[in-house]
Chains A and B, each alone.
Chain A
Amino acid sequence: MIEINNVEKRFGSAEVLKRINLKVEPGEVVTILGSSGSGKSTLIRCINGLETLSGGAIRVDGNDVSTAAGLAAARRRSATVFQLFNLYPHMTVLQNVTLAPIHVLGQPRAEAETRARALLDLVGLTAQADAYPQRLSGGQRQRVGICRALAMQPRYLLLDEVTSALDPEMTGEVLDILARLAAEGTTMVFVTHEIEFARRISDRIVFLEAGELIVDMPAEAFFSEEGGLAVPRIRKFLSKMTKD
């Protein structure tokens, strides 16, 4: 379980996250929605320890990410897929995927490679295992990014706008894979602007507004007249998002 308790984050005097509370249970898909600058990325970066908290606490299966040991354990349980892929350019696809399993989890190389190849098969990149990231299309790169995350056998997958750098066709490729993972019961914390997709795969939706978590409800309720749409701010957000 990921527990986020009263988390605050300030950059100088700017309060970017204000007393956020959120729980993600194993098997859940939780989508974070909110307009640009509302703090979605910052929240993800707090969970994976790229930002230090200004207040409150985050625990991943009981491991406090603000301690060194807790963060190391938390990072072994969760894996992140990045908006701009962040692949290692000097390594082949296979090396990208196996680096952390070998050097962080201590898996034998052969085993890590077998698993990596199986994952690459799964996302249709069998032939690209020995290519360098530069040779791949954006959609292919993001599929590598997903494999790299899955190779850690994470309990939790953190995804921050993983399709926003992709064109619609490549977005489709990546979303199909994520839908499959969701159906298989992978736990995900998912930041996206793909409202329709979020509606389809999410168990719960939370809405961030200027650093505050103003709504946390089941996906169905969020999109219903008496639920999320009853909140004017969300109605406005959804109508704007679905228009373009």
Chain B
Amino acid sequence: MRYADFTPYDLVLLAQGLGVTLGLFAATTLIGLALGAALTVLHYYRVPVIGHVVVAVTELLKNSPVLVQLFLVFFGMPAFFQVNMTPVTAALLTVSLNTAAFAFVIFRSGVEAVDRDQIEAARVFGHSRWQILRRIISPQAAAFSVGPLIGLLVNQLQVTSLISVIGVADLTKIGNILNLRTLEPFVVWSVIGLTYYLCAKALAALGGRLERHLRRSVVWQGL
């Protein structure tokens, strides 16, 4: 009780932070998965040069700290390209690209896991490359990818906590604010940590249910 006590309003603050975290997570997940899928299609068509560039960039994104990526986008891009960059834009851009890079790798190994012989069979029956991708490869690759994707998203939820460092008012940033004001680090960070923990658990449970549901449905029956 040295500085300022907790107030009921802090709960609102916490809820706002959680909303920002979940909103940003949802948005970057949607963008990231869509982009990852698009990159996989590009890679599947073996577009010259672009395919290699995509692989190189995704490797770079996978193998460097997200914090540095955030700094590059938030501090570096405005200075170098003379563009405006709000913390939220930088966060959206960085985390989406990061999710896309990992999703690309997951989708690509899903595609590669589809048995070559079936694809040969489909080619012999005269299906086009697009038909093979859509009817033979995608359903199976999607089924192979669900498990790893759930793991990825549980991880990406945690990754969003880094956007607090560039000033986005997410759950962690609210933690910082409350920590500074109340000087009750144990309480504050325990509550923040627990909130993340529960979100991760809920996400994993949701993912597990989705996986079981899919397993019972058509796409999985044969796999």
The reply to whether A and B meet directly (CB within 8 Å) is: yes
B221 to A132, Cβ gap below 8 A? yes
B124 to A72, Cβ gap below 8 A? no
B221 to A87, Cβ gap below 8 A? no
Chain A residues, Cβ within 8 Å of B143: 90
A86 to B117, Cβ gap below 8 A? yes
B84 CB within 8 Å of chain A: no
B127 CB within 8 Å of chain A: yes
Interface mask (B183-223 → A, CB under 8 Å = 1, otherwise 0): 00000000000000000000000000000000000111111
Q: Tell which of B124, B135, B140, B219 touches A75, judged by Cβ atoms closer than 8 Å.
A: B124
Q: Tell which of A79, A82, A90 touches B222, judged by Cβ atoms closer than 8 Å.
A: A90
A104 to B126, Cβ gap below 8 A? yes
Chain A residues, Cβ within 8 Å of B220: 90
B181 CB within 8 Å of chain A: no
Interface mask (A83-101 → B, CB under 8 Å = 1, otherwise 0): 0101111111000000110
Interface mask (A4-34 → B, CB under 8 Å = 1, otherwise 0): 0000000000000000000000000000000
Chain A residue with the shortest CB-CB distance to B117 = A86
Instruction: Give the CA-CA distance A75 to B124 in the complex, in Å.
Output: 6
Q: Give min CB distance, B35 to chain A, whole Å.
A: 25
Number of interface residues of A (CB under 8 A): 26
A133 to B222, Cβ gap below 8 A? yes
A50 CB within 8 Å of chain B: yes
Q: Known: A90-B143, A90-B222, A103-B135. Is A50-B120 also a contact (CB below 8 A)?
A: yes
A134 CB within 8 Å of chain B: yes
Q: Known: A82-B117, A90-B223, A134-B222. Is A100-B125 also a contact (CB below 8 A)?
A: yes
Q: Give min CB distance, B90 to chain A, whole Å.
A: 40
A90 to B126, Cβ gap below 8 A? no
Number of interface residues of B (CB under 8 A): 23
A100 to B127, Cβ gap below 8 A? yes
Q: Give min CB distance, A8 to chain B, whole Å.
A: 21
Highest count of chain B CB atoms <10 Å: which of A75, A89, A133? A89
Q: Give min CB distance, B219 to chain A, whole Å.
A: 6
B31 CB within 8 Å of chain A: no
A86 to B120, Cβ gap below 8 A? yes
Interface of B is mostly: helix
Q: Tell which of A76, A80, A89 touches B118, judged by Cβ atoms closer than 8 Å.
A: A89
A189 CB within 8 Å of chain B: no
Instruction: Give the CA-CA distance A90 to B134 in the complex, in Å.
Output: 13
Q: Tell which of B127, B140, B218 touches A103, judged by Cβ atoms closer than 8 Å.
A: B127
Q: Known: A88-B136, A90-B221, A132-B221. Is A75-B120 also a contact (CB below 8 A)?
A: no
Chain A residues, Cβ within 8 Å of B118: 86-89
A contact set with B: CB distance below 8 Å: 48-50, 72, 75-76, 79-80, 82, 84, 86-92, 99-100, 103-104, 132-134, 148, 152
Closest 10 CB pairs of A and B: A89-B222, A86-B121, A100-B125, A75-B126, A132-B222, A104-B126, A86-B117, A90-B222, A48-B124, A80-B124
Query: What would be 30 A-B contacts, judged by CB atoms less than 8 Å apart?
Result: A49-B123, A49-B124, A72-B126, A75-B126, A76-B126, A80-B125, A82-B117, A84-B117, A86-B117, A86-B118, A87-B121, A88-B118, A88-B122, A88-B136, A89-B115, A89-B223, A90-B140, A90-B218, A90-B222, A90-B223, A99-B125, A100-B125, A103-B127, A103-B135, A104-B131, A132-B221, A133-B222, A134-B221, A134-B222, A148-B125
B contact set with A: CB distance below 8 Å: 115, 117-118, 120-127, 131, 135-136, 139-140, 143, 218-223
* Given A86-B120, A91-B222, A133-B222: 19 more A-B contacts, CB < 8 Å: A49-B123, A49-B124, A50-B120, A75-B124, A79-B125, A80-B121, A84-B117, A86-B118, A87-B118, A87-B121, A88-B121, A90-B140, A90-B221, A90-B223, A92-B222, A99-B122, A103-B131, A104-B126, A132-B221
